[in-house]
Structure 1
Amino acid sequence: MSTKIIILIIGVLLIVFTLFAVKKSSSSKLGILLGILGVLMMIYGSYSSDLINYNTQIEQVSTGNKLKITGPVNSVKVVSPIDKDSVDCRILTMGVYPESNKNDIWVLIRPTDDRYYPQSDHTNTSYKRGGKWQVVTRFGGEKGEAYDLIIYEADSTASSFFSSTIAKWKEADDYPGLKLEELPSGSKEVDRIKIYTKENCRGVF
């Protein structure tokens, strides 16, 4: 159970206590104060937890510059953003893949802390269809911070590892990143570019 869910539960209990306390004149003032605190805790706990889910389809994302691809696609490749691009805090990373490729595609970012952060939206893996893939990618660093944006192919075992890792981080509300040696053996790097944040993204997500 995450800290924010616990805060929400405590808020509910404080409000219940208030309903009983206001019936007694000697403790009504204390009860009202605790009730206000309970309401504030409920608001915080609700809006910062999964109890309120915003539709990822209306998530505001931007796109970077696009690489022009000509000829047949022989490998998984990122086409947007492009190498050395400056990007917003939340972007749609897009690419292409050979339609014969059946592996999952994952975007991992590596900021200056030298740790790896798998990116996902509500589908976890990158969305694939008709030789094109995409996934929402989020950055949390300072303005001008450099990131390696790395594309991995992953087999089913590696893909499950990335998905479960994201779920654990989300549950704990703590995103420590992965060390290079922690990346699953069933994942293979297939493309990499360097990008920079064009605004301060710290604390945005």
Structure 2
Amino acid sequence: MSTKIIIITIGVLLILIAILGSKKRKSGKRILNIKIGIPFGVIGVLMMIYGSYSSEFVNYNTQMEQVSIGKKLKIDGPIDAVKVVSPIDKDSVDCRILTMGVYPKSHKRDIWVIIRPTDDRYYPQSDHTNTSYKRDGEWQVVTRFGGDKGEAYDLIVYEADSITSSLFSSTIAKWKEADDYPGLKLEEIPAGAKEVERLVIYTRKNCRGVF
């Protein structure tokens, strides 16, 4: 259970205590002193508001999320493989970018972008625990960086089968639920993921603590 859900749960309990405590006994006295009940209720409401606004129950962060686009690679000729169009190798990017690419029209496998920062862990990138969006020979996915200014990242593109996609998606969902993103070790990358391209990307801002 994440910290945010615990905060909301405690808020609900405080409100219930305040409501139940306001009831009177047969003797006419309240179960809970009003000087205690009112603060309990106020604190409970504030905790629920805070927990809701900072959690996925109110998804303002996703709605307001702004992404930038790095430099673009010019593609000539027919597309015969999955390829990254933006950013380009050795590009310096903002903390949150849109990674874009192309794929052959006959391509059926899912496309995943995974970043590897200097902690040597692997972080699947996703808008909402799904694969990269594909349509009409083009794909894209929001990619987030959380390190220091100038930190180097491997931006790796994988083709994945359905089993691997499900594993990546469930892993991201668990990380979001726990509000903890430990990354994957190389040996935890499933065999159904095939690396098709790798770029080196640098952050041009301090992105630590942004997400």
Taking structure 2 as the reference length, what is the TM-score of the superposition?
A: 0.89
Root mean square deviation of aligned Cα? 2.0
3-state SS of 1:118 partner: strand
3-state SS of 1:67 partner: coil
The residue type equivalent to 2:18 in the other structure is: T
| Runs of 4+ off more than 6 Å | none
Residues 123, 162 of structure 1: alpha-carbon distance in 2 compared, 3 angstrom cutoff: closer
3-state SS of 1:188 partner: strand
Q: 2:91 matched to which residue of 1?
A: 85
CA contact (8 A) 1:12 1:38 kept: yes
CA contact (8 A) 1:155 1:186 kept: yes
Quick check: 1:149 aligned with 2:134?
A: no
Q: 1:181 matched to which residue of 2?
A: 187
Quick check: 1:5 aligned with 2:5?
A: yes
Residue 205 of structure 2: which of 188, 199, 202 is its match? 199
CA contact (8 A) 1:56 1:122 kept: no
Distance 1:128 1:179 in 2: 27
Distance 1:183 1:25 in 2: 57
Taking structure 1 as the reference length, what is the TM-score of the superposition?
A: 0.92
Distance 2:18 2:192 in 1: 55
Q: 2:142 matched to which residue of 1?
A: 136
Residues 73, 26 of structure 1: alpha-carbon distance in 2 compared, 3 angstrom cutoff: closer
| Runs of 5+ unmatched residues, structure 2 | 24-29
Distance 2:56 2:62 in 1: 13
3-state SS of 2:12 partner: helix
Distance 2:49 2:168 in 1: 31
| Runs of 5+ unmatched residues, structure 1 | none
| Residue 19 of structure 1, CA deviation | 3.4
Quote the sequence identity (%). Answer: 77
Residues 55, 42 of structure 1: alpha-carbon distance in 2 compared, 3 angstrom cutoff: closer
What are the superposed Cα offsets for residues 16-62 of structure 1, whole Å, 9 maximum, x if unpaired? 22334467497333333333322231122101222112485653111
CA contact (8 A) 1:61 1:92 kept: yes
Quick check: 1:30 aligned with 2:32?
A: no
The residue type equivalent to 1:13 in the other structure is: L
Residues 101, 32 of structure 1: alpha-carbon distance in 2 compared, 3 angstrom cutoff: same
Report matched runs for 1:48-87 at 5 Å.
Answer: 48-54=54-60, 56=62, 59-87=65-93
Residues 26, 51 of structure 1: alpha-carbon distance in 2 compared, 3 angstrom cutoff: closer
Q: 1:17 matched to which residue of 2?
A: 17
Distance 2:11 2:99 in 1: 39
